[in-house]
Amino acid sequence: MTSQLVESNRTILDSSPLLISVLIKTYNEERHIAGAIESALAGIAPYAGEVVVADSGSTDATVAIAQRYPIRVVQLAEAQDRSCGASAQLAFQHSVGRFVYLMDGDMVLNAEFVHQAITYLGSHPDVAGVGGSIREMCIVNHEFRRRSSRR
């Protein structure tokens, strides 16, 4: 899998390790990406952190919108490399945080979840990860109705 680093407005990271990396995987998410990025930036604001957007070759304005933010934007160089996990792997390869949170480009991150997760993981070094719940906001068909009814 090859990738290219898309220039963004982010500041150069210093050599110290960051506490958290929020990884956002995208493909044609121009309608949602700003909200996803803004929620991720709000979630990491109290911490040393970064946001990495990994795009799977969007043909819309996803990358251009993402580049407006002080984040790292990377993109698959070859469309044939696109797969279910390719952008997640790409984001991970370009992240440096001690903790990693992965989300889709149409999701909004709850800042309180970030705080609770970091607090828990920081005080339980024997735990590898924590999970939250996803609340569907756009119920457009039977599958999404079923998902939203499960807790």
* Edge-to-edge strand list for the sheet holding 49-55: 3-6, 72-76, 49-55, 18-26, 97-104
pTM of the full predicted structure?
Answer: 0.80
Say if strands 49-55 and 18-26 run parallel, antiparallel, or are unpaired: parallel
**40 and 102 Cβ atoms separated by less than 8 Å:** no
In whole numbers, what is the pLDDT of the chain averaged over residues?
A: 84
- The low-confidence residues of the chain, meaning pLDDT below 50, are 2-16
CA atoms within 13 A on the CB side of 142: 0
